[in-house]
Structure 1
Amino acid sequence: MQNIVIIDADEQSLHALQVLQATSDYQIVGIVEQTQKASISQFATRYGIPHGPDPESILSGNVHIVLDFSEECSTRYIQFCPNATVVPKNICHLLVKILLKPSKETQFLQSNVRMYQSIFNSVDEGMIGIDEFGIITLFNDSASKMLDVTVKEVIGKPILSIIPSSGLLEVLHSGQPVSDDELQLSNGLEILSSRYPIINQDGKTTGAFAVFKDISGVIRTAEEITDLKRVKTMLEAIIHSSDDAISVVDSEGLGILVNPAYTRLTGLTEREVIGQPATVDISSGESIHMKVLETKRPVRGVNMQIGEKNRNVIVNVAPIIVDKEVKGSVGVIHDITEMRSLMKELDQAKAMIRDLESTYTFDDIIGSNEDLLIAVGQAKIAAGSEIPIMLRGEPGSGKELFAHAIHTGSRRSNGDFIRVSCATLDVDSIEMALIHTKIQDDKLSGTLFLDEITELNPEVQEKLLEYLRIGSITTSGQSKQLGVRIIASSAANLERAVHEGRLSEELFFQLTRISIRIPALRTRPEDILLITETLLAMLNQEFGMSIQRVTSKAMERLQSYEWPGNVRELENVISRAMILSESGSAVLNEEDIIRALSSRSDHHLDSNPALPDKRTLASLMEDHEKLLLEASLKENNGQKVIVADRLGISLRSLYYKLEKYKLI
């Protein structure tokens, strides 16, 4: 080995020094730094090479070659090492250039090796090669990740010690390739492997090579696809079995799915709708599907006419959002042609009944529950003011009773108390209602009770807001000054209705200046006994019966029930229990209550239950109709389409009657 001392090497020569340091034939034993350079000092320190400005201390010893990069004459260093060969500066620079400039052939080979190595390690498939002795000679990064071992740990190792089931030795010995063979590795990984022999120019097998890929994800994906197909089939079956018409469009507004109920309602078949624009079924108005796709928000309760027969429908449409992107929209269509006629008749009947009803006061609000008493106290205070009032509570909780009591307890008690359903209210109707309660004979006008305020359409909301702002409305081109007191009610979440755009924010603030929340019946079970006693007295008079009380077991049953329909449902259950009780009985037993609570009675048409003597023809007809529906449902296993067909009525009419008698 030749010992070398470097004198005043520059930074350009640093790479050459590293090449010398890496060889086995030469060793740098010292560096003389007459002009100190940081990079040279760091190099010397890293490799433990003595260095400094004093040449005598560095050059003493066994030195064979001195590479002198200094500007001074090289012969001055011969005195320190007379046996050494001193290479002058110009020769040193020539040596550096030679060391740093590899041959073109070497550069080409190095470039190819780097390229092949990069390709070998960049593919997703694992690659393993063995020589003729079964020793691993090739192993890429993907194989390393799949087997969870490093390249250094496997190169030079027998293939059997790393992957016993690889099959490479079989290919090595047989010389026959194997394609797309499924294997499971020792770590549980499922792979698909192809193996090939490596044959040299002489036709001799010198090794074998395997390419394999992880198929665990493919298997999971196939299973997921199977599950998705199963879910898709189930969803389609559910949609096709729905009695409500359903249509689905994609993100471009082109039809992709309709159910049989849609075809029955519109008269349009799948062939006429699928792939067609969403407007294909509209007789008048804009496409709600396109509006939802544009706004990315649901739209509910839109009145439209669709199909060949211009059927009146209410449409609810919601966006289909996947990964925060709108992929389409789904619409549910309710036929209200017959429902509107029935609702109009019902509203007329209710109006007639209200005209005959007695005036309600705060004494008619029954209960000792603390929340109820708070609500009554708030209502009494509100009765003395002229500010609009909002009554909030679940359906059947007594909002109309509170409204009537507030009217009776106010200075407007001599005026009219008019209740209107916001669901059927249009601009003409609200104008008529407001004008009907105008000032007459210098008396205060009456009270207008708006039931379910969130059902008002935007035009009516604007007309009502006009009145609340200035105390007058403009109709037929004339401004009319009014003085009606407004009481509104809602079972819906008003804040959500405002957020969804169903209720004007300004109207919300105008109507909630006084807001009273009426507690649900399930939150005050202690009041059920007193309410039941009051209902018995009222219903005895109506039915001509003399039920005096309910048993303790029956009362426990009533108090343990959730009462989703609140006091209204309690009244319905008590009346049904009275009708179904034994003739002449003075008490209601637990069995009577259970039968009344049941959605399907066990009574048949031929059971001929005893009824009280004093009954109106209308009530007898309703009871008979209810029993008929119950029996028909039971005979046809609840299949409503069959029941409607056998009874000769439309499916919508059947649903109306079932809801009327609480059979669904």
Structure 2
Amino acid sequence: MQNLNQSDVHAKMLEAIIQSSDEAISVVDEHGTGIIINPAYTRLTGLTREQVVGQPATADISEGESMHFKVLQTRKPVRGVRMKVGPNRRDVLVNVAPIIVDGILKGSVGVIRDVSEIQALTEELHRARQIIRTLEAKYTFEDIIGSSDEMHFAIEQAKLGAKTPATVLLRGESGTGKELFAHAIHNASNRKYNKFIRVNCAAISFSLLESELFGYEEGAFSGAKRGGKRGLFEEANNGSIFLDEIGELSTETQAKLLRVLQENEIVRVGGTKPIPINVRVIAATNVNLEKGMAEGRIREDLYYRINKLPIQIPPLRDRKEDIPLLSYHLLKKINQDFGRNVEGLTDAALEYLSSYEWPGNVRELENILGRAIINMNFNEVIVDVQHIPHLETKMLDKKETNFPIEINLEHSRPLSEMIEDFEAKVIYFELNKNKGNKTKTAKELGISLRNLYYKIEKYKIAYNGMQ
């Protein structure tokens, strides 16, 4: 009798737990007949106890098959099945597990979750991740691709800078990877577990930049937030702040930045009280700071403060031997972005890319490879010359183009006709020299293979050994 009472108590406790749970729960017996639902289930589905208990497990389903019946048949749990339930066709995810007692199947228990709630949580997580990405450095020195001597020297200098508290100045053309270096320096420093704040000084107007960097006090200006606002330097306390395009700062903002570097403190806009901070400054510029200093646009004292550890990042044209490695690295990234599976490039394509001077540097290379993949058929997996957009490559040296092509100037003709006549003869000469190899001919002439085909057709150029 005592055992029976204990069983009753346990059963009542179990039912009380189910009834008080915030999870929507339904239980059926071994025949698939509903025996228990809880208030959370009613709230989610809109179905009352009378509509479910004593009814087949399909009674609550408006779209989809019963997972209770499936579990009873297979004796295996199911997870994450999407269906619609109740009169309002509520979109839910269903988890159902068998209830087995002493090896005997006694029924199944299901837990359902509102998909809209899951979507809201997913969106909230996505927003949180976006915020976190602005506060942390994503890249390390392993992400910097390059084996050239110039790049190796820049990386070694950056690693040296990461181990010191000194301000680092990254110098290089647009698209060379200055931000990549800034991330890597932060992640290799003893501040890597603290915030990394990125600021593009050219992207924020002069009027806003100062308050963004240094914050402001309540009432500092019309529309100022009650209680004031912390600036980015305060946000980056104990971490690093990356000031990109530092050459674009106004002289007034430069003076405030100098105070940060000299005194390790800031004063908010509209305030008088200095606020101590401990921030590592990583600056970057693609302009000539020395010229700016001579013209009075860059403060001399600031220049000497930020130029303690200058690191020159080489342009792509000075490290063309890195193009193959960079191209394969960028292809992986582009494959993910475009949902493609491009495996690599032909030797001719790599030679063609190497013949270009790359004024836009690595950023331009990524753009060109992306466009090349767009030009490919979906079943193609190797980038060839014909896929690559036209690049204004170097023309041949004079000694290589010094061949006997006669231009008839005796008869008066329009200049355009004479230019076309000369162009046709140059193409014919190059095709003969290269034994009809159009890929090599296009590369040497500095035009795309597609453009070469067009000109061959336009001028009706014929060569028996064409490839």
TM-score, scaled relative to structure 2: 0.50
Deviations 1:175-203 (A, max 9, x none): xxxxxxxxxxxxxxxxxxxxxxxxxxxxx
Match of 1:436 in 2: 235
Match of 1:398 in 2: 177
Deviations 1:359-412 (A, max 9, x none): 211011111110110110010010000010100001000110001000000001
Instruction: Give the SS at the match of 1:382.
Output: helix
Match of 1:466 in 2: 259
Instruction: Give the SS at the match of 2:389.
Output: helix
CA–CA separation in structure 1 for the residues paired with 2:131 and 2:193: 19
CA shift for structure 1 position 354: 4.5
1:376 to 155, 163, 167: 155
Match of 1:552 in 2: 347
Deviations 1:115-150 (A, max 9, x none): xxxxxxxxxxxxxxxxxxxxxxxxxxxxxxxxxxxx
1:386 aligns with 2:165: yes
Match of 1:447 in 2: 240
Match of 2:318 in 1: 523
TM-score, scaled relative to structure 1: 0.35
Deviations 1:39-93 (A, max 9, x none): xxxxxxxxxxxxxxxxxxxxxxxxxxxxxxxxxxxxxxxxxxxxxxxxxxxxxxx
CA shift for structure 1 position 509: 0.3
User: Structure 1: which 4+ aligned runs deviate by more than 4 Å?
Assistant: 351-354, 595-598
- Percent sequence identity over aligned pairs: 43
Match of 1:542 in 2: 337
CA–CA separation in structure 1 for the residues paired with 2:255 and 2:341: 51
CA–CA separation in structure 1 for the residues paired with 2:134 and 2:387: 33
Instruction: Give the SS at the match of 1:539.
Output: helix
Amino acid at match of 2:319: R
Deviations 1:433-491 (A, max 9, x none): 101112xxxxxx11100111110011111110111110001222221000010000111
Q: Which has the higher contact order (CA 8 A, sep 6+)?
A: 2
**Largest Rg, 1 or 2:** 1
Work out whether residues 397 and 519 of structure 1, in 8 Å CA contact, stay in contact via their aligned partners in 2.
Answer: yes
CA–CA separation in structure 1 for the residues paired with 2:296 and 2:285: 16
Please identify which structure carries the higher strand content: 1
Work out whether residues 577 and 595 of structure 1, in 8 Å CA contact, stay in contact via their aligned partners in 2.
Answer: no
Amino acid at match of 2:349: A
- Go from structure 1 to structure 2 and tell me whether the alpha carbon gap of 1:560 and 1:493 turns closer, same or farther (over 3 Å shift): same
Amino acid at match of 1:523: D
- Go from structure 1 to structure 2 and tell me whether the alpha carbon gap of 1:597 and 1:574 turns closer, same or farther (over 3 Å shift): farther
Match of 1:497 in 2: 292
CA shift for structure 1 position 358: 7.0
Work out whether residues 256 and 266 of structure 2, in 8 Å CA contact, stay in contact via their aligned partners in 1.
Answer: yes
CA–CA separation in structure 2 for the residues paired with 1:369 and 1:427: 39
CA–CA separation in structure 1 for the residues paired with 2:132 and 2:165: 27
Instruction: Give the SS at the match of 1:488.
Output: strand
Work out whether residues 573 and 596 of structure 1, in 8 Å CA contact, stay in contact via their aligned partners in 2.
Answer: no
CA shift for structure 1 position 597: 7.8
Work out whether residues 430 and 460 of structure 1, in 8 Å CA contact, stay in contact via their aligned partners in 2.
Answer: no
- Go from structure 1 to structure 2 and tell me whether the alpha carbon gap of 1:538 and 1:357 turns closer, same or farther (over 3 Å shift): farther
Amino acid at match of 1:511: I
CA shift for structure 1 position 596: 7.9
Amino acid at match of 1:545: R
Work out whether residues 573 and 597 of structure 1, in 8 Å CA contact, stay in contact via their aligned partners in 2.
Answer: no
Match of 1:17 in 2: none
Work out whether residues 136 and 196 of structure 2, in 8 Å CA contact, stay in contact via their aligned partners in 1.
Answer: no
CA–CA separation in structure 1 for the residues paired with 2:132 and 2:330: 18
Amino acid at match of 2:384: N
Which residues in structure 2 correspond to 1:631-650 (within 5 Å)? none
Instruction: Give the SS at the match of 1:395.
Output: coil
- Go from structure 1 to structure 2 and tell me whether the alpha carbon gap of 1:352 and 1:561 turns closer, same or farther (over 3 Å shift): farther
2:369 to 563, 568, 574: 574
CA shift for structure 1 position 417: 1.2
Which residues in structure 2 correspond to 1:34-433 (within 5 Å)? 354-355=133-134, 359-423=138-202, 424=204, 426-431=209-214, 432-433=231-232
CA shift for structure 1 position 355: 3.5
Instruction: Give the SS at the match of 2:337.
Output: helix
CA–CA separation in structure 1 for the residues paired with 2:336 and 2:297: 43
- Go from structure 1 to structure 2 and tell me whether the alpha carbon gap of 1:414 and 1:523 turns closer, same or farther (over 3 Å shift): same
Deviations 1:612-648 (A, max 9, x none): xxxxxxxxxxxxxxxxxxxxxxxxxxxxxxxxxxxxx
Amino acid at match of 1:474: V
Work out whether residues 367 and 527 of structure 1, in 8 Å CA contact, stay in contact via their aligned partners in 2.
Answer: yes
CA–CA separation in structure 2 for the residues paired with 1:446 and 1:474: 19
Work out whether residues 418 and 448 of structure 1, in 8 Å CA contact, stay in contact via their aligned partners in 2.
Answer: yes
CA–CA separation in structure 1 for the residues paired with 2:136 and 2:283: 20
Match of 1:484 in 2: 279
CA–CA separation in structure 2 for the residues paired with 1:554 and 1:399: 27
**Structure 1: gaps (5+ residues):** 1-347, 439-444, 599-664
CA–CA separation in structure 2 for the residues paired with 1:356 and 1:542: 23
CA shift for structure 1 position 594: 2.6
Match of 1:512 in 2: 307
